[in-house]
Amino acid sequence: MPTRFTTATLNSGGQAVTELPSIQTDRDCLAALRRHPNYGCAFTDSRPLISIIVADFTCGERVFERLIPTLRQQSYPQFEVLFIADATHSAATLEWLNLQHDERMRLYRLTSPPHPSRSNLIRRTNAGLRLARGQWICHIAGEDALATEHLAQLLGAARSTQCEWAHGLARQILDDVDEPTDHGGQSPQLGQHVATASVYHAALKTFHLSAACPHLTAPDVPNLWQKFVQIGVNHCHLDDIVAAHYPTAAPRVERLQPIAVHTVSRDDRSYFPAAVRNYALQLRWLFPEQRVPAAPVLVKFLVFIQADNNTARLAHTLRSVHQQRHPARWIVICDASGQPAHLPPLGANDWRLDLQSGDILTPEALQVLAQAIKTAPDAVLIYCDHDHYDGNTPPANPHFKPALNPDLLRSYPYIGRVFAARADLFNQQAAITARPLQLTAAYALCLFAIEQFKSEHIVRVPLVLAHLNPAIDTVFAATSETWHKLSILLEQHAQRLGIAATLNEGPAPGTFHFLHPLTRTPKVSILIPTKEQLPYLQRCLESILAKTVYPNYEIIIIDNGSTNSECVAYLRGMETIAPERIRVLYAPGPFNFSRLNNQAAQIATGEFLLLLNNDTAVFQADWLNHLMRHGLRPEVGAVGARLLFPGGKVQHAGVVLGLAGPAEHPFLGLEKDQPGYLFRAQVTQNYSAVTAACLLVKKELYLDVNGLNETDFAVGYNDVDFCLRLAALSKQIVWTPLAILLHEGSASQRRAIESAEKKIAQSDKKQQRFRQEQGIFYNKWPQCVANDSAYSPGLSLVNRSFEIETNALLTPPKNDALIYPKVIAFPADMQGCGNYRIIQPMLAMLDDQLIEGGLSYEIFGANLVLRSGADTLIFQRPHTDIQITLLEELLQLNHIKKIYEVDDLLFNIPLKSIHRDAMPADIRKRLTKAIGLCDRLIVSTAPLAEQLNKLNRDVRVVENCLPAHLWGINPPQRVYTEANKKRKPRIGWAGGVGHQGDLELVQNVITALADEVEWEFFGMCPERLQPVVKRFINGIPTPYYPARLMSLVSQWDLAIAPLEDNPFNRCKSNLRLLEYGWCGVPVVCSNLLPYQGNLPVTRIKNRHKDWIDAIRSHLADPFASYQQGLALQQAVVARHLLRGQNLTNWLAAWHD
């Protein structure tokens, strides 16, 4: 029978345990977990799932030949095994694991670089805990072997005694020791063998992942048993041997690695694995599985695979299907003979996905697709992004696809040949779907889908979920034979829709120009606003009149108050030359592009309106014909043309929302013959918007939406807003490359916007209006800016050429639902302030799953903030002109909280500080403005809050704490020995380069004691003190600083912390005392406000005699001094670590 324990008073050695203040918090948390409705299911369910996490393995086949057979032989079958690997594991080991075809065993590999400052084992263990779906958890090492009844006995013991933790005996077997030893017992010894012989309630994952108990992040750390007992975990013990442990190496010691900022030049950036532009991607080591809901979405998938004569390729494809986190219900292989395969009967709501031999699904592919099906239950076809993988080189050539884009689909099969479709869709096209779909059959099915179903039934998942074999056509036809087959399918599609379309070859192999018929030629009113600029206007009118073959049009010139006599005369003459075709509307007043066009629309007699800038010119005779081919389509709202600069480069090829601001032209400046990304600069397609420099729209529709918005968008973004309002009526926006015009792009509306932006001194009023229009647009269309359906979240909003987005904060998650608040922080640096105030709190909250988000060392503009999906933005002391301008832009995002963080009195830096010259002379004015642009101010001390409380209505104080990421899990242990008395005492100081005045304060003290002690300075040393300082160690980057300080302080007998009395220092924090305290060294410090409080240190006035007396007093009684250091260490550990309530305080300040 198992022995049950509930005591929480003894440690593993039977000695009394000293409790820390965080213990009660953890007990409260445990009590709350026990009250959770699902807590009891682990005890009452008939066959609860056990998650076995194997995160500790280094060797290959030899060790797994012990473990895996004993897993398969378990008498209790309801378990899953999660092998967690990372970059430290060899390819051979991973390949061997891949061959273990057992649906209960899954291999996960952390693909991003190792997490900065966390051991790899802890990182893998935490990942396994997040992935675990079981109600019970078990940790096993790769060198372990389990008794057949291992799971059954431990689970039975826990459930029969209602205990949350059951542990048995583990037999340790050493290769060089004859007699094995058994470990566990009623008070088990510590180490991996305890984890191997244990099973615990999944609710205890809370503590493994909690910043309140960071030392529980690995199952074999020394404090696990003590912590579980202290917080009151009910546990029981078995006297049976349930596991064998075969250690293969000495206990590992993993040193904390420094944080590294990865920067990749544009020329050196490759797609796969994704490069990073900043540190933010490192914070995404918690790979996407954490976002996938714990409850599985059960969708029945048939995966239909076409085999070829290459068995290795087929094996790779099959392995990727077997490793799916959402398993396929059926896997059918169609052999290479060419005979149709027999498929299982599928229900109408079952789904099918076809692959060719050599295609690889990412492990989460079916899981993500299943979640998409749950989100869109009426979907009939779901497609994703893909890239190419030939089996030898890394995946490349990613295809980031827009949401459903009918005109692009008629230009080429952009959806590709791999997608999931509902079974009834395949059933309706049974003649072409008896075999796994290749490109032609896949294209036929997609065309059929857009004919039969509304756009919301065809769903895009903007993630690369498939690596496709490029030897088999994926999107573009590689041969004329395939192109011909595709063209026949497109012709049949047009016939089914009743469209008498003409099909021409497109600009590249595998593309088409799908020409809609020009069934009639209704009248078009061409509206041309102008003011002065006669040469432009003359060229525009003459080119239209001379070259346009479209027969039925009128021209309305809208004069905005021209005063030049030559221009006025020209306009008067045009009224008389051809009054039946050309009219002039005089509309003086302030320039308002929207108002001018709206007034002209009222008097226009055409069925269609063509908004046209005066600095355009016509190249082709049939330009208006091509626009009208689309304008006549009932589903189309607006049509845009291809506009070229005079030099032939692209000026307009559609508009992408969120690009370089609220909206911008992609491919700007591209050579006219260049294809652009996936030929999108050369083929007809749907965009969210097109420019009003040349925009065709039906007059009735224009008036229905009240034309352009004169009030909010007088000059900027009126065309984009107009197109979005058309889209809201389910109208499509079409861009055609076949209608080509010249556009100067300088005298037009966009030049007016750009001049307002770039010539601030010339017109503050224009600048103010431009910013106001930007803000209105961001607030009116935030979701469109964040995710333009004609673009892709996988593509950058910074670069205009459809470049890949490499910033992880701006790339899509595996699941759309954000479980936690999303916070993005912008640290000012990577040194002390940046780490303690921004980086480390962010890491701790991410580790504890309190938030999502990350860091960026460049402040985002509003477009990127919207793309990121952030709820809260944290800014660390931004004060430059550019930074303040960005804050002003972000001020317009009313739904996002903006927080300013500062931890020093920056406008009162001491005269002797090296940092003083780095601050601008008007720093007070800059801080006042920047802080006022934010919703909240966070500072490190109450005195600093008093100095700044008039700058913001919401000021929060969050004190500095020591983070485990920098300082480790357990403080160093100082040992007092009599041998220390035999050497000269060693006194140290540590700090940054800004403490010149502080050290000069005690320079006479240091000199006076030079013969009695050895002085050691770390970080800086004034030149005058260097002759009397025994040892000086230069400063090092913050990530290395804690380990170096702990190493140095271990040899110190005393540390000093002098502070010069000035306003700047009075607002500082006690961080130096915390750092010394963690190291356990006694401290003598200045009795100034930052160092006052209840920490056990020796405080003195800044007088020479007081310093001398205090130091000598410590040296006279070294044991008492040693005890004071231990007391300081205990106080720091108890109250000043970044965990528990301290971390909760940070979260409340950042997000409440």
SS (H, E, C) 557-595: EEECCCCCHHHHHHHHHHHHHCCCCEEEEECCCCCCHHH
Q: pLDDT (tens digit, 9 = 90+) per residue, 1135-1152?
A: 999 999 999 999 999 988
Averaged pLDDT for residues 553-563: 97
Contact 468, 418 (CB under 8 A): yes
pLDDT classification of 282: cutoffs 50, 70, 90? very low
Q: pLDDT (tens digit, 9 = 90+) per residue, 823-878?
A: 999 999 888 899 999 999 999 999 888 999 999 999 999 999 999 999 999 999 99
CA–CA dist 373, 383 (Å, integer): 11
pLDDT classification of 1038: cutoffs 50, 70, 90? confident
Percent of the chain exceeding pLDDT 70 equals 83
Q: Cite the beta strand spans of 850-947 per DSSP E.
A: 852-855, 872-876, 897-901, 936-939
Pairing of strands 1054-1057, 419-422: unpaired
Averaged pLDDT for residues 219-240: 67
CATH assignment of 292-505, among 3.20.20.20, 3.40.50.300, 3.30.1330.60, 3.90.550.10: 3.90.550.10
Contact 274, 798 (CB under 8 A): no
Q: Report how far apart, in Å, the C-alpha atoms of 409 and of each of 3, 629, 924 are.
A: 68, 17, 57
CA–CA dist 312, 315 (Å, integer): 5
Q: How much is the pLDDT for 199? A: 86
Q: pLDDT (tens digit, 9 = 90+) per residue, 693-709?
A: 999 999 999 999 999 99
Contact 408, 683 (CB under 8 A): yes
| Rounded (10°) CA dihedral 599, 603, 604, 607 | 110
User: Residue 423: is its pLDDT beyond 80?
Assistant: yes
Pairing of strands 419-422, 351-356: antiparallel
Hunting for tokens 């007391």 — which residue is that? 1127
CA–CA dist 547, 616 (Å, integer): 13
Which CATH homologous superfamily contains domain 3-245? Spore Coat Polysaccharide Biosynthesis Protein SpsA; Chain A (3.90.550.10)
Contact 662, 782 (CB under 8 A): no
Q: How much is the pLDDT for 694? A: 98
Supply angle C-alpha 520, 521, 525, rounded to 5: 145
CATH architecture of 818-957: 3-Layer(aba) Sandwich (3.40)
Contact 300, 347 (CB under 8 A): yes
Amino acid at 880: T
Give the burial class of 103: count Cβ atoms within 10 A of its Cβ; 0-12 exposed, 13-18 middle, 19 or more buried.
exposed
The rounded mean pLDDT for the chain is 85
Least confident of 71-80, 280-289, 365-374: 280-289
Amino acid at 800: R
- The residues pairing with 568 across neighbouring beta strands, listed in sequence order, are none
| Rounded (10°) CA dihedral 299, 305, 311, 315 | -10
pLDDT classification of 229: cutoffs 50, 70, 90? confident
The DSSP H or E segment spanning 1100 is strand 1098-1100
Q: pLDDT (tens digit, 9 = 90+) per residue, 320-363?
A: 999 898 999 999 999 887 676 788 899 989 999 999 999 999 99
User: Residue 271: is its pLDDT beyond 80?
Assistant: no
Q: How much is the pLDDT for 64? A: 62
Phi first, then psi: give them for residue 914, nearest 5 degrees: -65, -20
402 versus 296: which is more confidently predicted?
Answer: 402
Contact 524, 606 (CB under 8 A): yes
pLDDT classification of 207: cutoffs 50, 70, 90? low
**CATH fold label, 966-1136:** Rossmann fold (3.40.50)
Closest CA to 858 of 276, 275, 259, 287: 276
Q: pLDDT (tens digit, 9 = 90+) per residue, 878-916?
A: 999 999 999 999 998 999 999 999 999 989 888 878 778
Q: Report how far apart, in Å, the C-alpha atoms of 403 and of each of 431, 691, 716, 727 are.
A: 28, 21, 26, 14
Contact 701, 707 (CB under 8 A): no
Residues contacting 791, CB < 8 A, separation 6+: 402, 656, 657, 658, 659, 688
Q: How much is the pLDDT for 491? A: 98
User: Residue 216: is its pLDDT beyond 70?
Assistant: no
Least confident of 260-264, 476-480, 585-589, 888-892: 260-264
Query: DSSP states of 945-1007 as a string?
Result: HHHHTTS-S-EEE----B-HHHH-SSPPPP---GGGGGS--EEEEE--TT-HHHHHHTHHHHH
Contact 153, 238 (CB under 8 A): yes
Cα 418 versus chain centre, distance: 26
pLDDT classification of 114: cutoffs 50, 70, 90? low
Q: Cite the beta strand spans of 731-800 per DSSP E.
A: 732-743
User: Residue 183: is its pLDDT beyond 80?
Assistant: no
CA–CA dist 828, 824 (Å, integer): 13
User: Residue 1054: is its pLDDT beyond 60?
Assistant: yes
Pairing of strands 3-5, 235-245: antiparallel
User: Residue 220: is its pLDDT beyond 60?
Assistant: no
Averaged pLDDT for residues 427-431: 85
> Residue 111: how many CB atoms within 10 A of its CB?
14
Contact 676, 802 (CB under 8 A): yes
Q: Report how far apart, in Å, the C-alpha atoms of 841 and of each of 71, 210, 431, 824 are.
A: 40, 13, 59, 12
**3-245 and 818-957: identical CATH topology:** no
Q: Cite the beta strand spans of 827-909 per DSSP E.
A: 852-855, 872-876, 897-901
What is the chain's Cα-based Rg? Answer: 35
Q: How much is the pLDDT for 126? A: 79
CATH architecture of 524-786: Alpha-Beta Complex (3.90)
Q: pLDDT (tens digit, 9 = 90+) per residue, 376-400?
A: 999 999 999 999 999 888 899 999 9
Residues contacting 276, CB < 8 A, separation 6+: 262, 264, 282, 806, 807, 808
pLDDT classification of 28: cutoffs 50, 70, 90? confident
Q: How much is the pLDDT for 96? A: 57
Six-digit token string for 328: 């396929």
User: Residue 194: is its pLDDT beyond 60?
Assistant: no
Domain boundaries, the chain: 3-245, 292-505, 524-786, 818-957, 966-1136
Kindly report the three-state secondary structure assignment for every residue of 376-441.
CCCCCEEEEEEEECCCCCCCEEEECCCCCCHHHHHHCCCCCCCEEEEHHHHHCCHHHCCCCCCHHH
Model pTM score: 0.76
Q: Report how far apart, in Å, the C-alpha atoms of 483 and of each of 412, 440, 478, 674, 676 are.
A: 10, 9, 8, 21, 21
Query: DSSP states of 308-333 as a string?
Result: -S-HHHHHHHHHHHHT-SS--SEEEE
CA–CA dist 408, 399 (Å, integer): 14
Residues contacting 973, CB < 8 A, separation 6+: 1080
User: Residue 992: is its pLDDT beyond 50?
Assistant: yes
Residues contacting 55, CB < 8 A, separation 6+: 84, 121, 124, 125, 127, 128, 139
User: Residue 519: is its pLDDT beyond 70?
Assistant: yes
Six-digit token string for 461: 């998942």
Q: Report how far apart, in Å, the C-alpha atoms of 1031 and of each of 787, 821, 988, 1001, 1014 are.
A: 58, 48, 9, 20, 8
Averaged pLDDT for residues 546-564: 97
Hunting for tokens 């072409």 — which residue is that? 432
User: Residue 469: is its pLDDT beyond 60?
Assistant: yes
User: Residue 284: is its pLDDT beyond 50?
Assistant: no
Q: Report how far apart, in Å, the C-alpha atoms of 814 and of each of 364, 375, 533 are.
A: 8, 13, 53
Q: Report how far apart, in Å, the C-alpha atoms of 479 and of each of 417, 488, 509, 556 are.
A: 16, 15, 8, 49
Averaged pLDDT for residues 950-968: 94
Residues contacting 505, CB < 8 A, separation 6+: 483, 511, 512, 513
